[in-house]
Amino acid sequence: MPERWRVKPAQPVKLADVDPASTSGAPGDREATEAAIPALHDEFGRLQDRLWAENRRSLLVVLQAMDSGGKDGTVRHVFGGVNPQATRVTAFKQPTPLELRHDFLWRVHQAVPAAGEIGIFNRSHYEDVLVVRVHGLVPEDEWRARYKLINAFEETVHHGGTKLVKLYLHISKDEQRRRLEERLELPDKRWKFRADDLKERALWDDYQAAYEDALNATSTEHAPWYVIPADHKWYRNWAVSRVLIETLRELDPKYPQPPDLSGLRIE
């Protein structure tokens, strides 16, 4: 099932050909799909428990999207039932002065999950080939060189026992407008709105080109990208859950064998 969303290294993706409103593969309509999600949450929790107990490997989930694309909602709805002790969310914002004194991957490596953990990057090192490109913050030869550096970094992380899953939440420009308007209208969402959101929206086509190049240059066998149609939040949550569960099934973490307890008595 997740293969339908995977960006294969030998088959470059064209974002214009991916329908952000697609619900392909879902169990049915919204009601049927939402009814299937609790069972996925249960299985996700059981698999995470085994990963935590095994304490040998980890899972890193990278979330990228346009503004209002659903990163926060994905964290809230997909990971809401996992063990918080074994889960760490890192939101990468504008680099601090200290971080700017190091290479662009320095702060990222420090946030890679430890053995047994699930790490979630809400935005990530990919901002360094997206925002910097669109806004011309570094020369083109510098951001293009970062594709190879990112691939090498992710191969190193994979070699160290961390499985990477990278999810691009693909929304349409019309859906982004609807969500931004909702932020302006609803008091409980207005706090999310920033004037800069409109400036970034004006650069929509530039960002789409930047994302497309990044996806095609950095989707590898050990660190694949998945393009998740995300106009429908219920479908997004179901699809992301399916990708993560299939990934953990393939990892097949095991509970460790207990020590020899023969002869032990509890008084």
pLDDT at 264: 76
Q: How sure is the predictor about 3, in pLDDT bands with cuts at 50, 70 and 90? A: very high
Indicate if the pLDDT at residue 192 is higher than 90: no
**Between 146 and 193, where is the model more confident?**
146
Mean per-residue pLDDT, 209-234: 98
Per-residue pLDDT, 189: 83
- pLDDT exceeds 80 at position 206: yes
User: What mean pLDDT is predicted for residues 223-233?
Assistant: 98
Strands of the sheet containing 87-91, edge to edge, are: 6-7, 225-229, 162-170, 58-65, 118-122, 87-91
9-52 per-position pLDDT tens digit = 989 999 999 999 999 999 999 999 999 999 999 999 999 999 99
Query: At residue 260, does pLDDT exceed 80?
Result: no
pLDDT score, position 85: 94
Residue 140 one-letter amino acid: E
pLDDT surpasses 80 at 263: no
The Cα-based distances of 63 to 34, 49, 53, 168, 179 in angstroms read 21, 22, 25, 6, 18
Return the structure tokens found at 138. Answer: 């570094």
Q: What pLDDT is attached to residue 41?
A: 96
Which CATH fold would you assign to the domain 2-251?
Answer: Rossmann fold (3.40.50)
Contact 249, 51 (CB under 8 A): no
Of 224, 170, 242, 215, nearest in space to 25 by CA: 242
Instruction: Read off the DSSP letter of residue 69.
Output: S
With a CB cutoff of 8 Å and minimum separation 6, the contacts of 241 are: 37, 40, 41, 44, 78
Looking at residue 195, what is its pLDDT? 83
